[in-house]
Amino acid sequence: MKKDFLCLTDWSLEELEQIFALTRELKEKQKRGEEHHLLKGKTLAMIFEKSSTRTRVSFEVGMYQLGGHALFLHSGTTQLGRGEPIKDTGRVMARYCDGIMIRTFSQQGVEELARCSEVPVINGLTDMYHPCQLMADLFTVIEHKGNYRDLAYCWIGDGNNMANSWINAATVFGFELRVATPKGYEAHPEVVERAKKLGARVLYTNDPAEAARGAHVLNTDVWASMGQEAEQKQREQAFAGFQINADIVKLADPGCIVLHCLPAHRDEEITDEVIEGPHSVVFDEAENRMHVQKAIMATLLG
């Protein structure tokens, strides 16, 4: 039976830890220059309705390193851009390709695509979730801290798809998470409610200092995500004080690490000083997108 990668809470702790183990193995092979063609002859359709840098390159290069082939399909140059239902696209792509990755707006659209597709579907980002990025973030934590357990995680900023994904991760992996957002910009209530029902250890606050105090991992994202550019000025006012800067880092654990999924608006949600400073592991995190996604593709398509 085929399995999709749409949301972290669809997967068990054991399954996700197996992906981390495979990520480590594949990353070591790649660093040693060893071939690891687990997907030789396989093809991945990559559907983009949102612009991309890291997602496209990491999936495309990763698929190549696995011995397969990736096809870039932008909605503006496909029939999706002319109104073809996504379920029709999914049915056809499943007859050509071995898997589909999609980066789009609607989580419901991704779920519909997965229902109608006979091959695995990977969520490359929606407005609701960004599970591949979250797996890369946690793998980076494991590399720098030895494991993801017994750590306090802090999210400062918008209650966006990344905040939702961190809450999902706290639910599955069981770590402590503090989420600091301005009033009116909280994480999605459905995600919050599910986490509460499942006993996740998540503190929700409107005070960044409360969230950061003693934290081992600090994390943020842009204040205005794709599709919210018209709100930029309004959000700059609402998010004043919700910046990861030297003062916030001083409140955290002395050995803390700082994450950002990129692209960053330097000196808005995070200062240039911090992203270039000794606590930052942002570019290790960006690299790990490729390694984690290779493990996800190998798990689903292999």
Q: What are phi and psi of 108, to 5 degrees?
A: -65, -35
The per-residue pLDDT for range 230-249, each reduced to its tens digit, is 788 889 999 999 999 999 99
Q: Which two tokens stand for residue 73?
A: 């399909």
Say yes or no to pLDDT of 227 above 80. Answer: no
* Residue 115 designated active-site: no
Decide: pTM greater than 0.85: yes
Given the residues 65, 107, 133, 293, select the one marked as catalytic: 133
Cis peptide before 263 (omega within 30 of 0): yes
The per-residue pLDDT for range 263-276, each reduced to its tens digit, is 999 999 999 999 99
Q: What are phi and psi of 94, to 5 degrees?
A: -65, -25
Residues annotated in a binding site for L-ornithine = 161, 221, 225-226
Using a pLDDT cut of 90, give the percent of the chain over it: 90
The CA–CA distances, whole Å, from 214 to 133, 142, 166 equal 24, 18, 18
* pLDDT at position 233: 84
Using a pLDDT cut of 70, give the percent of the chain over it: 99
Given the residues 221, 235, 260, 291, select the one marked as catalytic: 221
* Residue 289 designated active-site: yes
* Residue 130 designated active-site: yes
Say yes or no to pLDDT of 191 above 70. Answer: yes
How high does pLDDT run on average in the chain?
96
* Residue 234 designated active-site: no
Given the residues 243, 289, 291, 293, select the one marked as catalytic: 289
Residues annotated in a binding site for carbamoyl phosphate = 52-55, 79, 103, 130-133, 261-262, 289
* Residue 97 designated active-site: no
Say yes or no to pLDDT of 226 above 70. Answer: no
Residue 156 near residue 220, CB atoms below 8 Å: yes
The per-residue pLDDT for range 64-78, each reduced to its tens digit, is 999 999 999 998 778
Residues annotated in a binding site = 52-55, 79, 103, 130-133, 161, 221, 225-226, 261-262, 289
Mean pLDDT confidence for 19-24: 98
* Residue 127 designated active-site: no
Residue 118 binned pLDDT confidence (cut-offs 50, 70, 90): very high
* pLDDT at position 96: 97
Could you tell me whether strands 176-180 and 152-156 are parallel, antiparallel, or unpaired per DSSP bridges? parallel
Amino acid found at 282: V
Residue 206 binned pLDDT confidence (cut-offs 50, 70, 90): very high
